[in-house]
């Protein structure tokens, strides 16, 4: 129970990787506060966490809306008393298209959720963490934040930006004993990846099987990444074992681009 007595808040915590992160931290002993835009998914995950004996706050909130973020953080502090860990996980895939065919609205929306949302959540929790003299922020980036990613410009740019935000926050807040790191997952198995594969196949004219093979072949391990492996890295960083790590980009990607 590495995280017993700690409170972690997770954006996009109702489904997909966010759910797996929440379960991983709950099983390590943390109490949780989740936000997301899908009320049913949040309620389902919250029920799973309570069944594990954890205290849970769940709230519908759009991370790109500063007022909604501030209400969620305030409600968490009122209900759970403190915030030890923030995991900025909320994200959308954005459009699959070449840059000349990406609508400005889609560009703005992708960056608003994936990058501005992380900024707003960090801004909301940092004064509390600094006052307590400790804190952890874990930003979920992507291997897309380390490469050029054809047909996925808004998503890739948002994930590159997440790395810059991570390094900047680490430099600003280290003297307050706040560690800030990014996890860059590879192709995480699940519904979201399957949707990306379908969209990429439709746009490129390739069979879905070929697109799937294209993704796995970029990794030395030649397979997709289980979500629980990303959650395990988050638990490590959130625990005392991660206290001397800050400003780092940790890839859980199966040896991406080494394959």
pTM (2 d.p.): 0.95
**Residue 249 bridge partners (DSSP):** 182
**Residue 183 bridge partners (DSSP):** 140, 250
Verify whether residue 215 is a known catalytic residue.
Answer: no
For residue 49, pLDDT beyond 80: yes
Active-site pick, 12, 110, 139, 155: 155
Q: What mean pLDDT comes out for the span 82-106? A: 97
State residue 259's pLDDT score.
64
Query: What is the number of alpha carbons within 13 Å of residue 182 lying toward its C-beta?
Result: 29
**Residue 166 counted as domain residue:** yes
Q: Where are the beta strands (DSSP E) in 160-253?
A: 178-185, 249-252
| Contact status, residue 237 vs residue 231, Cβ threshold 8 Å | no
**Residue 259 counted as domain residue:** no
**Residue 204 counted as domain residue:** no
H/E stretch holding 43: helix 39-51
Distance CA 125, CA 113 (A): 17
% the chain with pLDDT above 90:
94
For residue 213, pLDDT beyond 90: yes
**Residue 22 counted as domain residue:** yes
Distance CA 232, CA 223 (A): 18
State residue 127's pLDDT score.
98
Q: What is the dihedral of CA 20, 27, 167, 37, to 10 degrees?
A: 40
Predicted confidence (pLDDT) per residue in 125-138, tens digit: 999 999 999 999 99
Average confidence score pLDDT of the chain: 96
For residue 110, pLDDT beyond 80: yes
Instruction: State the CATH number of the domain containing residue 60.
Output: 3.40.50.720
For residue 87, pLDDT beyond 70: yes
In the 8-state DSSP scheme, what is residue 128? H
> Helix (H, G, I), strand (E, B), or coil: what is residue 225?
strand
For residue 258, pLDDT beyond 80: no
For residue 63, pLDDT beyond 70: yes
**Residue 199 counted as domain residue:** no
Write out the residue range of the structural domain in which residue 105 sits.
7-189+225-252
Predicted confidence (pLDDT) per residue in 10-31, tens digit: 999 999 999 999 999 999 999 9
Q: What mean pLDDT comes out for the span 152-160? A: 97
State residue 192's pLDDT score.
85
Task: Give me the number of domains the chain comprises.
Answer: 1
Q: What mean pLDDT comes out for the span 126-152? A: 96
CA nearest to 15, candidates 57, 44, 55, 50: 44
**Residue 234 counted as domain residue:** yes
Q: What mean pLDDT comes out for the span 198-209? A: 91
State residue 112's pLDDT score.
98
Predicted confidence (pLDDT) per residue in 175-201, tens digit: 999 999 999 999 999 988 898 899 889
**Residue 216 counted as domain residue:** no
**Residue 203 counted as domain residue:** no
How, if at all, do strands 56-60 and 178-185 pair?
Answer: unpaired
| Contact status, residue 39 vs residue 60, Cβ threshold 8 Å | yes
Q: Work out the angle between the directed axes of helices 153-173 and 117-132 (0-180°, nearest 10).
A: 20
């Amino acid at each position: 129970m590495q995280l017993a007595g700690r409170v972690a808040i997770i954006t996009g915590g109702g489904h997909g990787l966010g759910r797996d992160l929440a379960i991983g931290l709950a099983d390590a002993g943390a109490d949780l506060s989740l936000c997301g835009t899908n009320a049913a998914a949040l309620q389902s995950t919250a029920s799973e966490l309570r069944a594990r004996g954890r205290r849970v706050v769940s709230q519908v909130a759009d991370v790109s809306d500063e007022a909604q973020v501030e209400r969620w953080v305030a409600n968490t502090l009122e209900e759970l008393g403190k915030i030890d860990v923030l995991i900025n996980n909320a994200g959308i895939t954005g459009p699959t298209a070449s840059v000349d065919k990406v609508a400005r609205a889609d560009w703005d929306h992708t960056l608003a959720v994936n990058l501005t949302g992380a900024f707003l959540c960090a801004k909301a929790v940092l004064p509390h963490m600094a006052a307590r003299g400790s804190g952890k922020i874990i930003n979920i980036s992507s291997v897309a934040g380390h490469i050029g990613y054809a047909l996925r410009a808004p998503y890739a740019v948002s994930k590159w930006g997440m790395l810059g935000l991570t390094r900047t926050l680490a430099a600003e807040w280290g003297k307050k004993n706040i560690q800030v790191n990014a996890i860059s997952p590879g192709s995480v198995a699940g519904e979201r990846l399957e949707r990306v594969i379908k969209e990429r196949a439709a746009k490129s004219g390739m069979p879905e099987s070929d697109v799937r093979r294209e993704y796995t072949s970029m990794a030395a391990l030649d397979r997709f990444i289980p979500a629980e492996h990303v959650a395990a890295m988050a638990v490590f960083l959130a625990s005392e074992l991660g206290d001397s790590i800050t400003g780092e980009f940790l890839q859980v990607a199966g040896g991406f681009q080494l394959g």
